[in-house]
């Protein structure tokens, strides 16, 4: 079963990075949270949490934030070493803090999308 990545395609930085991964791997299903109204139901996550972090569903487990990136990178041969490196205790904690800072900045940059997501998800 393919892993599934939930990302915000309406964030230019997120879109740029995900488009890079799409070019180098085909074993992942990519789900744009900004246009797929089933995302909230599929993940059981609210709009704010979906918008704030990257999410990856793999082997019946949902990973979010830096954990999603680690699992994603482990699946991409070019980034496997990086994914395994970030699992190391001290490196993991530093990466987690760094990711959360960037995620907060991007969340506030894209916060105007929250109302749009709420409307999209409530259509179903």
Is the model's pLDDT at 124 over the cut of 60?
no
Q: How much is the pTM?
A: 0.88
Domain that holds residue 43: 3-122
User: pLDDT, tens digit, for every residue of 87-113?
Assistant: 999 999 999 999 999 999 888 887 778
Give the angle subtended at the CA of 114 by the CAs of 70 and 52, to the nearest 5°: 20
Report the pLDDT value the prediction gives residue 109, as an integer from 0 to 100.
81
User: pLDDT, tens digit, for every residue of 47-92?
Assistant: 888 888 999 999 999 999 999 999 999 999 999 999 999 999 999 9
DSSP string, the chain: --EEEEE-TTSHHHHHHHHHHHHH--SEEEEETTT-TTHHHHHT--HHHHHHS-EEEETTEEEETHHHHHHHHHHSGGGHHHHHHHTSHHHHHHHHHHHHHHHHHHHHHTTTHHHHHHHHHHT-
For the chain, how many structural domains are there in total? 1
């Amino acid at each position: 079963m393919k892993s599934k990545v939930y990302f915000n395609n309406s964030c230019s930085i997120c879109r740029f990075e995900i488009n890079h991964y799409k070019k180098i791997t085909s074993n992942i299903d990519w789900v744009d949270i900004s246009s797929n109204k089933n995302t909230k139901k599929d993940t059981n996550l609210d709009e704010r949490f979906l918008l704030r972090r990257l999410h990856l569903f793999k082997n019946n487990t949902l990973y979010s934030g830096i954990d999603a990136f680690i699992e994603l990178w482990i699946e991409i041969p070019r980034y496997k070493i990086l994914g395994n490196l970030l699992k190391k205790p001290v490196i993991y904690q530093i990466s987690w803090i760094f990711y959360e800072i960037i995620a907060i900045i991007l969340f506030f940059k894209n916060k105007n999308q929250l109302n749009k997501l709420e409307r999209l998800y409530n259509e179903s």
